[in-house]
Chains A and B, each alone.
Chain A
Amino acid sequence: MNNKINFSRFFTIANIFSLLAVIISILFLFFKGLNYGVDFKGGTLLEIRVENKNIKIQDLRTSLNILELGDVNVKQFGEEGDFLIKFEKNANKNKKFITDLKNNISKKINSAVNFRRVETVGPKVSSELLKQGVTAIILALSAMLFYIWIRFEWQFSLGAIVALLHDVIITLGIFSILSFEVNLSIVAAVLTIVGYSMNDTVVIFDRIRENLLKYSKLKTNEITDVSVNETLSRTVITSLTTLLALFSIFILGGEILKGFSFAMILGVIIGTYSSIYVASPVLNFFKVTQKTLLKDENI
């Protein structure tokens, strides 16, 4: 046994830390909320490239403020001269809106402007997309819960779901704290995180189940410790290779994938942590033993 690290010694501290992080995240989500992108809030998003690279973000801001577009948000996006503009107003009512806007901006800042991307979402569609996103996440969580319940015992299922909720809440909490934009691709990222974290948890649970049958004398926390240790190198290596892939998207994959890969990176780190320090302690809490497994035949 390369039972080197005594994980369970840190369980209490880790649990307190996790609980705090979850509470802080919930508070932020409740009071500060998420910075929804146009997908969920409605409005218009423009990615523009101006020919004259000397144009400053302030110039653009002042020129946009006169146009009465509602709440305008401008930021540098990638290369020099590339900007991302968001505003509340959506172009649906006036069909020439985008053409007019382009001419207006171009005139005001005195430079040719290329609209590289335009996204307009009406209020009805955006609220539907939000509802769909939330439904998708809830459905994914329930489906995972069901799968684990079928494959393992209810204690495992509960452990997995607590870990998943922990991951989703903290990831969203960090998004809230950093005011990172939440759009459709973030929902995709959260769902993938759910899948990944589950994957990680299942590997450890599989081992716990195996070891419970193998060592009848060990206590639950000893079993979890052995199991976490046995699977540790796999956990680390897989997290590493996944992070290698994610960091290469984050750094080289272009601006559009930044938010997505950032969410995934957070999720992989939190997910790896939670399979060890959230999912396993739940099993300890319920004192899962060999008897729990042998009670019914589904091994």
Chain B
Amino acid sequence: MQEMLANPAVQGGLAPFVAALVVAALLTPFRLGGLAVVAAFATAVYFIAGFTFSPLTATRKIILLGFAAPLAGIVIDFALRPTRFEAGMLALAGAAAAAWIFWPVLAQMDLERGLLLGGTAVLATAWTIGFSHSRLAEDGVRAGAAGLALGAGTGAAAILGASLTYGLYGFAVAAGSGAFLLVQMIIGRKTHAGATFMLAATVVTMLLAAATMILAQLPWYAVLALAFVPVAASLPLRAGAPIWLQAVLLSFLGLVVAGIACALAWQAGG
């Protein structure tokens, strides 16, 4: 049993998926099925690094924000009306989070490299959070597909960029999003994603991608490519298509963009 739980495929895939499926199945009736993604992420963190937050490294800051994002999402979903202003404010908060996490490392780099990597991290995080919140959060299938592709893309790109830990965290988000999508495919209707789901999925994945770029070896343009995954998940589909088909098609479109990011990462290491 201990050996099985030490297997990276279990830590970053199977265990997060099971945890997310349970959460999505139990909490969907209460419009909280989006917590599936943080359940998956927390499961991976438990197995891989544990809940230690001192010293507060960049990775631990990402974990903290990954836990805080769905809590903020619940407040937003239940207390506020979705507006463009709200999406803009969330994008700004994402940019500030990226700056808070990476500033200590960027400050040690030469100016040109620091500006390039820091600018990419801030812009990609802000754009992904803002766009996803304004265009995908109200549609459970589109949100789930974006989370699945962002998680899988970040996971694979992180492994290519020399960090298996970030890779497993990314795959955990993909597993959580997959569980969230699966519940919708089984019941045959869209469920509520909202900021509870979308904020957690985008904050964790984009900050992990930025961390792989700044602390490991992911090229900056691969991070920018990942930021276009939500655009793919927002493309129009034939009206009236069954939920399972929408989920498959939108996930496929997102994964194509994620695949481009991974190809860029692979090429950069060659």
**A and B bind:** no
